[in-house]
Chain A
C-alpha cells in the first residue's frame, strides 16, 4: 500500500470505503463501535473484568462502609440497620484494647515485611551470583510458599506444641532451652513465634520476584562494570539496586497489604492471645464481628486496616521516590 492510500485509509475515505464494502450501515451499532477511540476500546476489553471486580470487591467494600456507620441487629434472621454516624469509629478510639491492637499490627507488619525482604534478598542474591548453597536454595526455597495457609498454620501449631513439638526438641538438643516451652501461650514469645511462621512462608515468593527482577538486568551492564574495575558491591549498589527498585516498591506494598490482612495464621495459632499479645486489627475485627456479633464495629475496624494500608503505601512512595 503506498503512502497516499494509507493516508486516505487512516483519515477517512479509505476506511469509509472499506466499511461500505463490508456492508456496514452508517450510524449503525457496528459502525458506532468501529468509531470508538482507543481508550474506549480498551475499556470495552476491560469491561468483563471491571464488572467482576465491581461486583466482588467494590460492592462489598461499599456495603462494609455503610455497615461501619450503622448499628446492625438481627431479628428473625434478618439484619436491621440503625444509622449511627461515626459512633463505631469513636467507640474504636475509646476502646482500651485498640492502642495495643494497633501497635501489635504495626509491629507485626513492619517486622514481617522488613525481615521477609532482607532474607529474600539474601537468598535471591545467593542464587543470582551462584554463591555457595545456590543450588540447594534453588531446589527447596519454593516449598514453604507451596503450602496452603491452613496447612502451614497447623504444621507450626504442632511444631510449637509444648507437649511434643519438634521445635522444642531441636532447641533442647542444641542446648538453647532446658525444658519444653509453650511458645504460643506465653505472651513474651507468642508474637515472635507467629512472626517466624509467617516469614517462613512469605520469603520464597519475595525471593522469586527479586530473583526474576535481577535476572532481567542486561549482562552488558555487569560486564561494563567489571571492565571499569567494579566489584560485586559496586554492582549491587549501582546496577542491581537501581534496576530492581520498582520491584522492591511493588513487593513492599503487596507484602504490607498481605501482612495487614493476615488472619488465618494468627487465628489458628493463637486466636490473638495470650493476653492480646498477638491480637492484630484483622483478628480484632473478626472477634468483634463474629464472636460479639457487632458487625458495625467490626466493619469500622476493617476500615482502619484500609487506612493503615494507605498510610504505609504513601510512606513507601515518598521514601523510595519511585516514579510511575
Chain B
C-alpha cells in the first residue's frame, strides 16, 4: 500500500512540475526581459539582433561595431530572396526577435503602413543626414515619415565580357536594344551564349520593367495607384523579351531558373555568358580571381535603350528598426555606425555597393576601386526607381508569372499583360 501511495504522490509531483514548466515557459519572455533589464543596469550595454545576408563584409562590420560600442550583435544570416518572407512571418507573428533589418523601397511601402517599422525621423540627427541627398531618403519614406536609413544604391548596369566581344569581332557595347540583337547574333555565330536575364517566376517582372521603360512606358502610375504596364510599350517590351528566347534564341535557356541577380552574376563571372544587366557588386565579383574566370575582362556600359537613350532598375538598400524591437536605442547606434562616411567607404571598396554617403562616393580611393561607378550618374538621369506598393510582393509575383509564361511562349505578350493587369487590379480592389 505504501508503494501505491508513493506512486500517487510521485505522479502528482511530476504533473505539478510539468504544469509549472508549461506556465513558466509561457511567461518566459517576461523573465527574459527582466533579466536583460537587470543586466543592462549592471553596466552591460545590451545586445541587438541583425537580420541580413551573409557576406563576410557585413558580418565583419557587425563585429567591428561590437568592439567599438560594447553592444553585442547577434548577426542572423538570411538568403536575400528569403528575406521578405522571413520578415513578413516575423512581423505577422508579433516577433520581437529582430532589432535591425534590411529594407528596400518596396519593403518600406509594404511594412510601414502596417505599423511594423519604427519611424526614424526623431532618431536621425542632422549629422547623420549631412552627406546624404534627399533622393536617397525618398524610397525609404512612407506617408511623409522616414522608416529606413539609406546606405547604398543598387542600380542595374550593362555588363559585357571584353574577351568574348573581341573573339566575335565586336568593338563596342550596344547602345540600343536593336544593336544589342545584332551583337548577340555575332556572338551566337561564334558559339558563345550571348545573354541572360533573370526570368524566374518571382523575378521576371524586373527585367521587364527595364525593357518597358526603355520603350517609354512605365510599370505603375503612382498618382492614381494603378498598373500601367499593359500598354503598347509594355507589349513591345515583352515581345522583345519573348523574341530573344523564341525567335532569335540569343538568351541563355538557363534564364528561366534565375530568380535573382546573384546566380546571373556568377554565370557571367564564370564566362558562360557574354552580356547581362546586373547590380554594381558584379564588378568586384567578376574581377576577383577567387570567384571569377574573367578578371580584367569586365566591361560596363549604360543599359541599351530604345525610345529612351537608356533606362534601368534600382533598389535603395537601407536599415530599419522593427516597431517590435526592444532595443531601439542600441539599434540606432548600429545604424549610426554602419552609415558613417568611413564605413560607407569601406563598403564601396569592399563589396562594390554605391554608397548613399556623397563624401564616400566621391572619395578617390572609392572611385579608383570602382571604375564602373563613373557611368552611374548618367544612368540615373533616366528612369530607374523601384516599383513600390503595399502589395508589391504579391503584385510582382503575379506579373512575373505572366512574364515567364510569355517568354516561354505559353501566352502571347498581349494575353500575358492583360491577364496580369486584371489580376493585379482585383488584388488591389480596383
Task: Please give the residue numbers on chain A whose beta carbons come within 8 Å of chain B beta carbons, in ascending order.
Answer: 15, 18, 22, 33-34, 41, 44-45, 47-49, 51-52, 55, 74-78, 161-163, 182, 184-185, 271, 273-276, 287, 289-293, 295
Chain B contacts of A77 at CB under 8 A?
A: 91, 94, 114-116, 323-324
**What's the nearest-Cβ distance from chain B to residue A75, in Å?**
6
B92–A293 CB distance below 8 A = yes
* Cross-chain pairs A/B with CB under 8 angstroms, 13 sampled: A15-B1, A18-B1, A51-B22, A55-B26, A162-B254, A162-B257, A163-B254, A273-B202, A289-B92, A291-B394, A292-B393, A293-B110, A293-B391
Checking B8, B22, B200, B401 against A33 with a beta-carbon cut-off of 8 angstroms, the contacting residue is B8
Q: How far, in whole Å, are A273 and B89 apart by their CA atoms in the complex? A: 21
**What's the nearest-Cβ distance from chain A to residue B202, in Å?**
6
Known: A162-B253, A275-B410. A34 touches B19 (CB 8 A): no
B115–A45 CB distance below 8 A = no
With both beta carbons as reference points, the residue of chain B lying nearest to A288 in the complex is identified as B394
Q: How far, in whole Å, are A153 and B55 apart by their CA atoms in the complex? A: 23
**What's the nearest-Cβ distance from chain B to residue A82, in Å?**
15
The 4 closest A-B pairs by CB, nearest first: A48-B18, A77-B115, A74-B114, A76-B115
Q: How far, in whole Å, are A76 and B394 apart by their CA atoms in the complex? A: 21
Q: How far, in whole Å, are A15 and B4 apart by their CA atoms in the complex? A: 12
Known: A22-B5, A55-B26, A293-B92. A273 touches B201 (CB 8 A): yes
Known: A22-B5, A55-B26, A274-B201. A185 touches B12 (CB 8 A): no
B427–A292 CB distance below 8 A = yes
B247 within 8 A of A: no
Q: How far, in whole Å, are A293 and B107 apart by their CA atoms in the complex? A: 13
Chain B contacts of A33 at CB under 8 A?
A: 8, 12
Checking B94, B397, B401 against A291 with a beta-carbon cut-off of 8 angstroms, the contacting residue is B397
Chain A contacts of B5 at CB under 8 A?
A: 22, 34
B11–A291 CB distance below 8 A = no
Q: How far, in whole Å, are A275 and B400 apart by their CA atoms in the complex? A: 10
Known: A48-B18, A48-B19, A163-B267. A290 touches B88 (CB 8 A): yes
A48–B89 CB distance below 8 A = no
Q: How far, in whole Å, are A293 and B395 apart by their CA atoms in the complex? A: 12
Question: What number of B residues sit within 8 Å (CB to CB) of A?
Answer: 43
B182 within 8 A of A: no
Checking A47, A75, A185 against B257 with a beta-carbon cut-off of 8 angstroms, the contacting residue is A185
B88–A293 CB distance below 8 A = yes
Checking B91, B94, B401 against A273 with a beta-carbon cut-off of 8 angstroms, the contacting residue is B401
Mask, B257-282, CB within 8 Å of A = 1, is 10000010001000000000000000
**What's the nearest-Cβ distance from chain B to residue A63, in Å?**
12
A48–B114 CB distance below 8 A = no
Known: A18-B1, A77-B323, A271-B201. A45 touches B11 (CB 8 A): yes
B168 within 8 A of A: no
**What's the nearest-Cβ distance from chain B to residue A178, in Å?**
13
Residues of B214-260 contacting chain A, CB below 8 A: 253-254, 256-257
Q: How far, in whole Å, are A287 and B323 apart by their CA atoms in the complex? A: 24
Known: A45-B15, A182-B256. A274 touches B88 (CB 8 A): no
B15–A47 CB distance below 8 A = yes
New A-B contacts (14) at CB < 8 Å, excluding given A77-B114, A161-B257, A291-B85: A18-B1, A47-B15, A48-B19, A77-B91, A162-B254, A163-B254, A273-B201, A273-B202, A273-B401, A274-B404, A275-B201, A293-B88, A293-B391, A295-B92
Q: How far, in whole Å, are A15 and B257 apart by their CA atoms in the complex? A: 76
Mask, B26-59, CB within 8 Å of A = 1, is 1000000000000000000000000000000000
B254–A74 CB distance below 8 A = no
Mask, B419-430, CB within 8 Å of A = 1, is 000000001000
Mask, B74-85, CB within 8 Å of A = 1, is 000000000011
Known: A162-B257, A290-B85, A292-B427. A48 touches B14 (CB 8 A): yes
Residues of B83-113 contacting chain A, CB below 8 A: 84-85, 88-89, 91-92, 94, 110
With both beta carbons as reference points, the residue of chain B lying nearest to A55 in the complex is identified as B22
Chain A contacts of B427 at CB under 8 A?
A: 292
Q: How far, in whole Å, are A291 and B107 apart by their CA atoms in the complex? A: 12
B92–A290 CB distance below 8 A = yes
A44–B394 CB distance below 8 A = no
